[in-house]
């Protein structure tokens, strides 16, 4: 199998049903006919190249630790700098721009609600901009996987 075919299988086949065992990448390597080191190197390359931004479990909000959605109204000329500052926080899972008065949205996850609140307050203090806390009211299941088999 060519590298691009292996990468596609790696990205597509393990979005769900990731092997829950002591050496999951060795298991994946066996299924793909590779070595564990090859799989790890391929994933590292995909992250470095920007194809993959994150490898990790998606856990229902507030079942382990605490989390919240937050938003800010950031002046356009500061958006990139503020987004970089927000992204640099280890508690921030991701952020994104929206076409709205509140144009920078992000998710904060931490061991407990006190750390979530301290993170929001710290971001507000560092940027000089208010942060709107939008805690989860109703949980919905959103499948974050995308079928890449026909791409």
Q: What is the dihedral of CA 78, 67, 91, 73, to 10 degrees?
A: 10
Residue 148 has pLDDT above 80, yes or no: no
Q: What pLDDT does 151 receive?
A: 53
**Which tokens sit at 38?**
């090859």
Q: What is the largest CA-CA distance in the chain?
A: 53
Question: The whole model's pTM is what?
Answer: 0.64
3.30.70.3460, 3.40.50.300, 3.40.50.620, 3.30.465.10: which CATH number matches 66-134?
Answer: 3.30.70.3460
Asked if residue 129 has pLDDT above 80, the reply is yes
Q: With 80 as the cut, is the pLDDT of residue 141 above it? A: no
Of the CA atoms within 13 Å of residue 112, those in its CB half-sphere come to: 1
pLDDT in tens, 91-119: 998 899 999 999 999 999 999 999 999 99
* pLDDT of amino acid 150: 61
- pLDDT(147) > 90: no
Over residues 44-79, the pLDDT tens digits come to 999 888 888 778 776 667 777 899 999 999 999 999
Can you give the pLDDT at residue 142? 72
Domain boundaries, the chain: 3-48, 66-134
């Amino acid at each position: 199998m060519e590298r691009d075919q292996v990468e596609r299988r790696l990205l597509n086949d393990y979005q769900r049903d990731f092997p829950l065992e002591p050496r999951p990448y060795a298991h994946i390597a066996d299924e793909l006919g590779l070595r564990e080191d090859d799989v790890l190197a391929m994933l590292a390359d995909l992250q470095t190249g920007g194809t993959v931004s994150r490898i990790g479990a998606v856990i229902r909000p507030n079942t382990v630790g605490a989390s919240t959605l937050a938003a800010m109204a950031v002046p356009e000329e500061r958006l990139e700098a503020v987004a970089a500052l927000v992204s640099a926080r280890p508690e921030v899972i991701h952020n994104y721009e929206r076409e709205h008065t509140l144009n920078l949205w992000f998710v904060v996850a931490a061991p407990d609600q006190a750390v979530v609140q301290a993170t929001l307050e710290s971001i507000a203090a560092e940027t000089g901009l208010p942060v709107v806390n939008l805690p989860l009211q109703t949980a919905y299941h959103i499948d974050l996987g995308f079928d890449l088999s026909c791409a």
